[in-house]
Amino acid sequence: MIRLYDSATKEVVPLEQRDDGKVSIYVCGPTVYGPPHIGHGRSVLVYDILRRYLMWLGLDVTFVSNITDIDDKIINRANREERQWSDIATKCESVWWQAMDRLDALRPDKTPRATEYVDQMVQLIADLVDAGKAYETTDGVYLSVEEIDGYGLLAQQSLEDLRAGGGERELVGVEKRHTADFALWKVSKPDEPSWPSPWGDGRPGWHTECVVMSLDLIGEGFDLHTGGLDLMFPHHENERAQAVALGKPFARHWMHHGFVELEGEKMSKSLGNVHNLLDLTDEYDPRAYRLLVLQSHYRSPMELTDESLGHALAAMDRLDAFARRTAELDGEADPEVLEQFRQAMDNDLDTAKALDLLFRAVRDANTALDSDDRDAAAAATGAAHQIAGALGLRLGGEEADVPDEIMALARERGQARTDKDFALADSLRDQITAAGWSIEDSSDGPVLTPVK
Ligand SMILES: [Zn+2]
């Protein structure tokens, strides 16, 4: 069974499943108020790789990732630009999916939006107030962390440490009882988006949506809750606190991934060194970014430099050349290599080791072909394709999923060329291009590629 580092116990432990053969995963998704940066790209890729690997193992994976479509950051931008907050959220969400599609990340099975869950959040907050775990103030409702068993589990800090860290002075002039108490409901200011509640019109705090959505969509005691290291505290601690307060079993296992460092600096908005993911994938083969993510252990910081990107692009070229060279080979994958791959991935997702195995299989296949040993070449090639597929690395020769109507145009164009009707062929090419695809003629027939 796959073993993963659990951020709650600080140990690498087997991912024990609630239901045999099934894995339920909840990933905290984006707050949609700006373009996704390369840190988001890493996050999505890390969990896409985990998900694909679990599927490759034959497990039935349910993958839920939310969209935070109401939040201070969205409202602030709307005010600054004098736009509707919902317009910003809708447009940013569509850009998000565009970027994630480029990375070839599987779409989540479910993508709940915060605004679709406000009624259920109001209900959860009311339950917390009734249970004496939350209290009303003039500006909203707060969770009382002193009422929560084991608060500080993920933060690895006691309530006293948190109080000291938060600074007593913060409490002066506010109605919070403990510095770590957090808002479940925020009473709105005039002209802010609001929903009705027993505590006045307002909106839910950020930490409530994921509790409600995960429990609603994958149920109590779901298998795995994930996100960036920056979400461990306070976001995940606070999600967990609400479930604990209501006696609901929450995530069985917690997983967090490291940051992306740009030439040695931590990727964060505050440092202003954000690299837009769309720019990155415009300029470079998005598969190279997946390769870089695979090269770093998910818990370690990942450094992005011109040099590391250059190496990844060259490595993709080698993989594509291998795929073209071995396209005709057909055979069973070498089971020994697959077993080594499983061992590497089961060991807290050792993706760097998995890549080593992939490149070794590629080398072995090439060497075997050089000496005309087609059986050995086919076994190594089969293993390489299995590993690449399980990691979500699309190798050259495998084409993108081309829509039927584009395929039909391409076929018509092929016929026009055969008939030497070049005017018609050109006009069909124009139609294909206008639909967002490029068409190149190769010795194996036309190759269709989506245009970014
Ligand atoms: Zn969350």
422 with 357, same domain?
A: no
Q: Does residue 289 sit within a domain?
A: no
pLDDT single digits (tens) 401-446 = 778 888 889 889 988 988 889 899 999 998 988 888 888 776 556 7
pLDDT of residue 261: 85
User: Confidence class of residue 452 from pLDDT cuts 50, 70 and 90?
Assistant: low
Q: Does residue 397 sit within a domain?
A: no
208 with 355, same domain?
A: no
Q: Does residue 275 sit within a domain?
A: no
Ligand 1 centroid to residue 235 C-alpha, Å: 6
Taking the C-alpha atoms of residue 390 and residue 106, their distance in angstroms, rounded to an integer, is 12
Ligand 1 centroid to residue 111 C-alpha, Å: 12
Q: Does residue 384 sit within a domain?
A: yes
Ligand 1 centroid to residue 236 C-alpha, Å: 6
The residue that leads in pLDDT, 242 or 443, is 242
77 with 175, same domain?
A: yes
113 with 160, same domain?
A: yes
The answer on pLDDT for 268 being more than 60 is no
Q: How many domains does the chain have?
A: 3
**What value does the mean pLDDT take over residues 110-130?**
98
Ligand 1 centroid to residue 29 C-alpha, Å: 7
Q: Which residue's structure tokens are 């490595």? A: 315
Evaluate whether 305 touches 295 at the Cβ level (below 8 Å). no
| Least confident segment among 181-195, 207-221, 265-279 | 265-279
Q: At what angle do helices 286-295 and 351-370 cross, to 10 degrees?
A: 110
Ligand 1 centroid to residue 227 C-alpha, Å: 8
Q: What is the percent of the chain where pLDDT is above 90?
A: 76
* Residues of the domain holding 217: 3-257
180 with 79, same domain?
A: yes
Report the 10 Å Cβ neighbour count for 88: 21
Taking the C-alpha atoms of residue 49 and residue 42, their distance in angstroms, rounded to an integer, is 10
Ligand 1 centroid to residue 437 C-alpha, Å: 36
Please identify, among 241, 257, 273, the residue that sits at the C-terminal boundary of a domain. 257
207 with 311, same domain?
A: no
Evaluate whether 250 touches 240 at the Cβ level (below 8 Å). yes
Ligand 1 centroid to residue 186 C-alpha, Å: 18
Please identify, among 257, 291, 324, the residue that sits at the C-terminal boundary of a domain. 257
Ligand 1 centroid to residue 113 C-alpha, Å: 12
pLDDT of residue 450: 76
246 with 314, same domain?
A: no
386 with 410, same domain?
A: no
Ligand 1 centroid to residue 199 C-alpha, Å: 23
User: Confidence class of residue 307 from pLDDT cuts 50, 70 and 90?
Assistant: confident
Instruction: Tell me the pLDDT of the chain averaged across its residues.
Output: 91
DSSP string of 346-386, one letter each residue = HBT--HHHHHHHHHHHHHHHHHHHHTT-HHHHHHHHHHHHH
Q: Does residue 278 sit within a domain?
A: no
Domain holding 319: CATH number?
Answer: 1.20.120.640
Ligand 1 centroid to residue 115 C-alpha, Å: 14
Q: Does residue 25 sit within a domain?
A: yes
Ligand 1 centroid to residue 406 C-alpha, Å: 39
pLDDT of residue 304: 87
437 with 324, same domain?
A: no
Ligand 1 centroid to residue 104 C-alpha, Å: 23
The answer on pLDDT for 58 being more than 90 is yes
Q: What is the pTM of this model?
A: 0.86
Q: CB-based contacts of 115: which residues, under 8 Å, 6+ apart?
A: 69, 70
Ligand 1 centroid to residue 240 C-alpha, Å: 10
pLDDT single digits (tens) 75-109 = 999 999 999 999 999 999 999 999 999 999 999 99
Q: Does residue 282 sit within a domain?
A: no
27 with 67, same domain?
A: yes
Ligand 1 centroid to residue 327 C-alpha, Å: 43
Taking the C-alpha atoms of residue 44 and residue 368, their distance in angstroms, rounded to an integer, is 36
Domain holding 229: CATH number?
Answer: 3.40.50.620
Ligand 1 centroid to residue 37 C-alpha, Å: 18
Please identify, among 359, 391, 423, the residue that sits at the C-terminal boundary of a domain. 391
Phi, psi of 240 (to 5 degrees): -60, -40
Q: Does residue 61 sit within a domain?
A: yes
pLDDT single digits (tens) 154-202 = 988 888 888 877 655 555 557 889 999 999 999 998 888 999 999 999 9
435 with 333, same domain?
A: no
Ligand 1 centroid to residue 233 C-alpha, Å: 11
Ligand 1 centroid to residue 101 C-alpha, Å: 22
382 with 421, same domain?
A: no
* Backbone angle region of 86, left / alpha / beta, with phi > 0 → left and psi within -120 to 50 → alpha: alpha
The answer on pLDDT for 273 being more than 50 is no
Q: At what angle do helices 118-130 and 206-217 cross, to 10 degrees?
A: 100
User: Confidence class of residue 330 from pLDDT cuts 50, 70 and 90?
Assistant: confident
